[in-house]
Amino acid sequence: MATLSLAGCNRHQSALAPFGVEASSTRDLTIILLIGAVVIAVAMSLLIRHAIRTPGERLTHRQGMKLVLWAGGVVPTILLFTLLVTSLPAMRPLPTSRADLTINVEGEQFWWRVAYRPPNAARVVSANEVRVPVGRTVALKLMGGDVIHSFWIPGLAGKMDMIPGRTNTLVVRATKPGRFRGVCTEFCGLSHALMAFDVVAMEPAAFDRWLAAEAKPAAGGNALFAQYGCGGCHAIRGTGEAGAIGPDLTHFGARQTLAAGVLPMTTANVASFIRHPEKTKPGVRMPAFDHMPPADAVALARYLQGLK
């Protein structure tokens, strides 16, 4: 067990490396449950060994029935009841107030539509990245766009499904800043394995500055973007490009990764993704721009990366 823990250890996408109150309490619960499970498993093994090695007639029928009653019935009932009662409080979500930040997240094949709804300001649309302020309660409103997805940031909290026709609420509070990762955990089609997102937990003041910057329009438009009709699907606020089918690209260059947490944000990756998105993500909704000269793709990639 110990060696295994050392072998597999990541700090950015693990339920065992929490950075939020819910994930922390669940991690503690996990450790208690694991210790209990190991103790019971070892005790059972020893008992079975003993039962097999004991010669016949050492245990009378009456004693045997007592064993069944106590070890099989009474003790498990007490243990399970205690476990249930102690875990009930953890089923209650964190309390929220009107003053809390709300973030809408909608799952699409195979990316995330994100909208920040601060209590006293306009909504800010983004994609494939969720930023949360440390120490503040945040209500995530989760929806399914096309099919069922599930929203999971292992280090922050448990998962919650995104179901078409419903809105589920997941309330979280980050406890330490850092860069983390979330993934889709409900099988949602060909590229289910390639549907992740970046999570950034920021100090509250830094978060407020970032959100204010994120709300601003982009620096300027681009002729190639218009020429290839990218605005049919993608929006870049302030340029007149307002497509709503694909991810919003207003501050694309400020994101750490490309294609919903799949590729590092480099010019080469962006350029090749534009021309052949299906090579990175099978089943992606974005059409291939096969005919686009590589030079144009690189120029477009540079422009997009400049949208900070």
Partner 1 sequence: MSDQNDLTLRAEQEERLRAVWKPPEGLFLRWTDVNNNRVGVWYTLTAFGFMLFAGVLALIMRTQLAVPENDLVSANTFNQLFTLHGSMMMFLFAVPMFEAVSIILLPQLLGARDLPFPRLSAFGYWSFLLGGVFVGGSIFFNAAPDGGWFMYPPLTTRTDLSGLGADIWMLGLSFIEVSSVAAAVELIVGVLKCRPPGMRLNLMPLYAWYILVVAVMILFAFPPLIAGDLLFEMERLLGWPFFDAAKGGDPLLWQHLFWIFGHPEVYIVFLPSIALFAMLIPTFAQRHLLGYPWIVLAAVGTAFLSFGLWVHHMFATGLPKISLAFFSAASEAVAIPTGIQVFAFIATLWAGRVIWSTPLLYAVGSIAIFTIGGLTGVMVAIAPFDWQAHDTYFVVAHLHYVLIGGTLLPLFGGLYYYWPLITGKKLSDRIGRIAFWVMFAGANLAFFPMHLSGLEGMPRRVFTYPAELGIGGLNMASTVGAYLFATGVLMVCIDLALSPTRPKGVRNPWNAGTLEWLAKPEDENWGIRSVPLIESRYPIWDQKDFVAKVDEGRFFLPDAEEMKRETIVTTVLDARPLQVVRLGTPSFIPMATAVALGSVFILTTYHLYWWSLAGAFVTLGCVLTWLWTGTAIIPEKPEKSIGHGIVVPLYISGPSASGWWAMFITMLADATAFSGLVFGYYFYWTVHPDFPPPDATGPGVFWPMVAMGTQLASWAATVVAREVHARGQVLAARSLLIVGIVLTLASLLAGLAGPWFTGLNPSEHVYPAIVWVLAIWTAAHAGVGVICQGYTLARSIAGRMTPRYDADLRNITVFMHFLALTAVVTYATIGLFPGASS
Contact positions with partner 1 (CB under 8 A) in 191-210: 191-194
CB under 8 A: which stretch of 122-130, 144-152, 199-207, 266-274 binds partner 1? Answer: 144-152
CA 169 to CA 9: how far, in whole Å?
Answer: 30
Distance in Å, CB of 211 to partner 1, minimum:
27
Closest to 87 measured CA to CA, from 138, 36, 38, 43: 36
178 is a contact residue toward partner 1 (CB under 8 A): no
154 is a contact residue toward partner 1 (CB under 8 A): yes
96 is a contact residue toward partner 1 (CB under 8 A): no
Q: In what order do the strands lie in the sheet with 129-133?
A: 129-133, 196-202, 178-184, 149-152, 160-162
- Residue from 21, 140, 171, 188 that binds partner 1 (CB under 8 A)? 188
224 is a contact residue toward partner 1 (CB under 8 A): no
CB under 8 A: which stretch of 176-184, 209-217, 235-243, 245-253 binds partner 1? Answer: 176-184
Helices (H), 8-113: 21-53, 61-67, 75-87
The CA-atom distances, in angstroms, between 82 and each of 27, 41, 90 are 18, 19, 14
* DSSP secondary structure letter of residue 174: B
Q: In what order do the strands lie in the sheet with 137-144?
A: 124-127, 111-117, 101-108, 137-144, 167-173
Of residues 55-94, those binding partner 1 (CB under 8 A) = 55-61, 63-65, 67-68, 71-73, 76-77, 80-81, 83-84, 87-88, 90-92
95 is a contact residue toward partner 1 (CB under 8 A): no
**Contact, 173 vs 138, CB < 8 A?**
yes
- Residue from 2, 52, 122, 295 that binds partner 1 (CB under 8 A)? 52
51 is a contact residue toward partner 1 (CB under 8 A): yes
